[in-house]
Amino acid sequence: MISKRLTSAALALLVAVSASGISSAEGIGDREKMAATVEKLMQENAIPGAVVLIRKGTDQWLQAFGVADLKTGQPVTTDMAFRIGSNTKTMTGTVVLQLIQEGKLKLTDTVSKFFDNVPQGDQITIADLLAMRSGIPTYSDLKSVNRQLDQQPLKGYTTAELIQLGIEQKPLFKPGAEFNYSNTNYIMLGVIIERLTGKSLEEAFQQRIFTPLAMKHTSMPTATDWKMPSPYARGYLFGTNESTLDDLALPKDQQKLAIEGKLLPTDVTDGNPSWAWAAGGAVSTAEDLATYVEAMVAGGLLDEAWQNIRLDSFKPNNPMQPEATAYGLGIAKFGPLLGHDGSLPGYQSFMGFDPQTGITLIVLTNLQNTPSGEGAANLLTKELCKQIYGAPID
């Protein structure tokens, strides 16, 4: 089971790349063919706009597609900002690992050291939170939360409120026993970062990640200041948060109307993302994310020892499908690509870096889910991976 909101591998990118497939990825692919694929998929799935970046060394393809604003018809440009959802989790995870590296925290520290009244809190470790193995349910699958996102989109959430919504639910399993994607885990980790650094999470990200990597177009909104930085793409949602909670797909008749352009998605750009915070609140651009995911995977944010620990931490999300996606200490694995994806109302994104070939792939879309219920960026990513690697994708 995975959480509907801010999911990693929302529609698992099961990249079945053979050894020969990896070695054949000499370049970044046929640009014209890939552009045609993106345009076709966007048209067939009512995706308003997208930015795609693929690079290997100095060879880079960066292209914008479609519109940033359905009302005005403003085209997407490659420098536009998008909300990046759960890609934010990797940033939270990176800072947590930096604090462990600095001796201020341990992977074996338990949640009870920082929070009271958490069921099984004396057994849940920082490692469990990072790896989505705490057993703490996610607050973002609650119908009440999704209804509130629809009815009060400007509401600011406190971290205490979000954590309480998660821990007041019955634990799903014993800590460490299984994988279950929970945004509650990362809200807790964000609070721990603030306590140990004495800084806001926004300041910690800026000081420890954004400034060192010269990510000048990446930011972390606050509960009182979440306006998108210009230039940016407006974000769209088919249906509502509540109506798509149990089934991401629109009813069949509405899917048809959406593809024909007779049913337009709702503009949800201005919703307050404070409910996502450390689990999914950040804003970035394609080039900034490419810089970041390369440093996160290839090194530069952690020392060598902790970098290796992180890259050795992957465990299959589903033990019955070990070749599918895997999750580690604030990082996900999609075949040869290491990184994450992100989804929240209005936007969906994917970032990945292949340490074997040196290929970086970034896909940003200003639609969360297509009318059929698939993550918009993940849909494009799967087809691009097929062209890059020449390998089948499940």
State the DSSP string of 139-189. GGG-HHHHHHHHH-TTPPPPHHHHHHHHHTSPP-SSTTSS----HHHHHHH
Residue 24, pLDDT above cutoff 80:
no
Predicted confidence (pLDDT) per residue in 237-290, tens digit:
999 999 999 999 999 999 999 999 999 999 999 999 999 999 999 999 999 999
370-378: average pLDDT: 97
2-15: average pLDDT: 47
Mean pLDDT of the chain: 92
Structure tokens at 173: 């399993």
352 in Cβ contact with 53 (< 8 Å): no
Domains of the chain: 19-86+201-389 (3.40.710.10)
Predicted confidence (pLDDT) per residue in 288-300, tens digit:
999 999 999 999 9
19 in Cβ contact with 355 (< 8 Å): no
Q: Which of 138, 146, 229 is nearest to 186 (CA)?
A: 138
CA–CA distance, 330 with 290 (Å, rounded to integer): 17
Residue 152, pLDDT above cutoff 50:
yes
| pLDDT for position 317 | 87
3-state secondary structure of 109: coil
Q: Which of 21-25, 146-150, 237-241 has the lowest mean pLDDT?
A: 21-25
pLDDT band at 17 (very low <50, low <70, confident <90, very high): very low
| pLDDT for position 323 | 66
Count Cα neighbours of 323 within 13 Å in the Cβ-side half-sphere.
7
Residue 327, pLDDT above cutoff 80:
yes
Structure tokens at 291: 């810089």
Q: Which of 388, 392, 282, 275 is nearest to 340 (CA)?
A: 282
Structure tokens at 43: 């048209």
Beta bridge partners of 353: 338, 360
Cβ count within 10 A of residue 323: 12
Structure tokens at 385: 């991976």
Instruction: Give, for 20, the enclosing helix (H) or strand (E).
Output: helix 19-23
| pLDDT for position 20 | 31
- Stronger pLDDT, 15 or 59, i.e. the higher one: 59
CA–CA distance, 273 with 290 (Å, rounded to integer): 23
| pLDDT for position 319 | 78
pLDDT band at 233 (very low <50, low <70, confident <90, very high): very high
3-state secondary structure of 362: strand
306 burial level (CB within 10 Å; 0-12, 13-18, 19+): middle
141 burial level (CB within 10 Å; 0-12, 13-18, 19+): buried
Q: Extract long-range pairs of 205-213: CB within 8 Å, 24+ residues apart.
A: 205/91, 205/95, 205/282, 208/94, 208/95, 208/98, 208/301, 209/91, 209/94, 209/95, 209/292, 209/301, 212/300, 212/301, 213/291, 213/292, 213/295, 213/300, 213/301
pLDDT band at 28 (very low <50, low <70, confident <90, very high): confident
Residue 7, pLDDT above cutoff 80:
no
| pLDDT for position 381 | 96
3-state secondary structure of 114: coil
Q: Which of 53-67, 318-332, 375-389 has the lowest mean pLDDT?
A: 318-332
| pLDDT for position 394 | 47
| pLDDT for position 377 | 98
Burial 92-115 (b: 16+ CB within 10 A, else e): bbbbbbbbbbeeebebebbbeebb
Determine the Cα angle at 229 with ends 227 and 233, to 5°: 95
17-36: average pLDDT: 64
- Stronger pLDDT, 85 or 12, i.e. the higher one: 85
118-141: average pLDDT: 98
Predicted confidence (pLDDT) per residue in 167-217, tens digit:
999 999 999 999 999 999 999 999 999 999 999 999 999 999 999 999 999
| pLDDT for position 19 | 30
pLDDT band at 6 (very low <50, low <70, confident <90, very high): low
| pLDDT for position 4 | 52
| pLDDT for position 283 | 98
| pLDDT for position 61 | 97
CA–CA distance, 219 with 203 (Å, rounded to integer): 10
The string of DSSP letters for 199-259 reads S-HHHHHIIIIITTTT-TT-B---SS--PPPSSB---EESS-TTTTSS--SPPHHHHHHHH
